[in-house]
Amino acid sequence: MFSLQRLLGKEDKFFDLLEASAEEARNSVHALVRLSKDIDKSTATDDMAYARRKDKAITQELSDAVYTTFVTALEREDIEALSNALYKIPKTVEKFSQRALLAPHYVRGVDFSVQISLLERATEIVLELVKSIRKGMNLERVKDLNDKLQFLEGEADKQMLALYRDLFNGNHDPVQVIVLKDLYELLEKIIDRCRDAGNVISHIVLKNS
């Protein structure tokens, strides 16, 4: 196990910022849970927008720190890659809410619970993965967590097939089919963003272990 703390002493600015970014990704999905239960709940969309803006500020702070800090906790390109991967999670969550609110009458009453439950679990794992970097480059632990992310992505793919079967069975309004197809695919994309973040962390740990 390789300990970054032994190398950098008390240098933990980048760990703090990356963990804060992962927490905002998780917060955005928590807001998505609330929105899915009540599409007319404006506070949920406000929370998503806030999480995205806060994460954008964190991402900018990370980017600035990468070029102004003599010794960085990780290689500069790895910090930026992980920062960008994390930011794309709340950004895509906010995009979902914006699309859903364009035509709420087609979304009201639709059950997104299975996909959103997978997203909740995925963002928890992403946060745990990010925190694991501070603790040390434990390749076995990171591989186990990343495998769980890959499993969740597979489950999301299966759910998409079930949703498509229902969507194209001829019982839905054609416009609603278009609206829901777009929203289902955005939910899948959020899972993919979580997977991407996990892959970046796996690459970092593999390189440093």
Mean pLDDT of the region 14-22: 93
Looking at residue 1, its pLDDT comes to 42
Residue closest to 199 by CA, chosen among 84, 118, 29: 84
Looking at residue 70, its pLDDT comes to 64
| End-to-end Cα spacing for the chain | 6
Taking only the tens place, the pLDDT of each residue in 115-144 is 999 999 999 999 999 999 887 778 899 999
Across the chain, what does the average pLDDT equal? Answer: 88
Write down the domain spans for the chain.
10-208
- pTM metric for this prediction: 0.88
Q: For the domain with range 10-208, which CATH number is right: 2.40.128.20, 1.10.3110.10, 1.20.58.220, 1.20.1070.10?
A: 1.20.58.220
Looking at residue 10, its pLDDT comes to 42
